[in-house]
A and B are shown apart, each in its own frame.
Chain A
Amino acid sequence: MKFKEIVFTDAEAQRVYASYIKRIRHVLKNLLPADSEEILMEFNSHIYESIESRGDASELKSLLDATDKLGDPELVLKPLVADKMLDKATRSFNPLDVLKALMLNITNGISYIIFAILYLFLGAFIFMILAKLANEEVGLYFKNDQFVALGFVKNTSNYQEVLGYWFIPLMLLAAFLFYIAITLLLRLKKSFLKRN
């Protein structure tokens, strides 16, 4: 079975339809031809049935209504394409396919990875304060005016610890600033998600 174009009597409807199909094809271009054809045919059938069910409404209006409700192909097909790409990659062993599939699947969760790392930093500052209380040698170490380490060094004789007990208030300040930054970023992400 093959994809069959829907024929409209209204030339403008035909143009809008062609452009929507083109967008679907573009989103599916990296998939196996059989997968891509199957998805295209299913969306095409959806558009056709939706228009048919509207009966006597104008072709263009029915078409726009159908595509509006289906959504942007770039958005609604994303999880399906990510899934099929992963299937293709695990079958073909083609490193390019693997890369593309990973990129598609990671972008959904990448912001959470970033937040996880930021929170880890926040935890690290707090941990440093406790470590300083337990072990005086925890600190900010420099060697010849160059930063070497934040935390603990095995042999302190070659390095200068520059903060002394200022270490604790400074770590508190760093943790506080990180906390503010993360919260602002989260707020930004939330408003971004809402808009999309």
Chain B
Amino acid sequence: MKEEFVTKWKSQVKKGTLSFIVLNAISAKELYGYELIEIIKSATAIEIAEGTLYPLMNRLTKEGLTTSKWVEQESGIPRKYYILTSEGKMTLRAMRKYWYELETSIKSITKNEI
């Protein structure tokens, strides 16, 4: 097996699907950054460099797919919660539809023995 090739390919797949995963995670419930990363890690086994999440969240917010609010905490260190906007919901629906179509095609193209 060409290990280097597979590793590179995996990292490309992760990069390409991270925004989809993030949008799905916050579609279920409002989440703050650290919590979001923990959920991604436990649900997908994807180890992301944690700091890279914030540039991504900034981009999603700029695109109008997410919005955020600061919530005061007893500790005095507030949390920034991310929320899916209505445009984000519509976009995520379209993304999910494409993802299911892709899944079907991948299944059909990978069913032969190798």
Chain A contact residues, CB within 8 Å of chain B:
1, 4, 6, 39, 41-46, 48-50, 52-53, 69-71, 73, 75-77, 79-80, 83-84
The answer to whether B54 and A48 have CB atoms under 8 Å apart is: no
Q: In the bound complex, how far is the Cα of B32 from the Cα of A41, in angstroms?
A: 12
The answer to whether B58 and A83 have CB atoms under 8 Å apart is: yes
List residues of chain B with CB within 8 A of the CB of A83: 55, 58-59, 62
Interface majority SS on A: helix, strand, loop or mixed? helix
Name the interface size band of chain B: 20 to 34
Across the A-B interface, how many residue pairs have beta carbons closer than 8 Å?
A: 64
- Choice from B38, B51, B70, B80 contacting A71 with Cβ under 8 Å: B51
- Choice from A42, A53, A71 contacting B33 with Cβ under 8 Å: A42
Chain B contact residues, CB within 8 Å of chain A:
32-35, 38, 49-52, 54-55, 58-59, 62, 70, 72, 75-80
**Minimum distance in angstroms from A8 CB to a CB of chain B:** 13
The answer to whether B51 and A42 have CB atoms under 8 Å apart is: no
**Minimum distance in angstroms from A123 CB to a CB of chain B:** 28
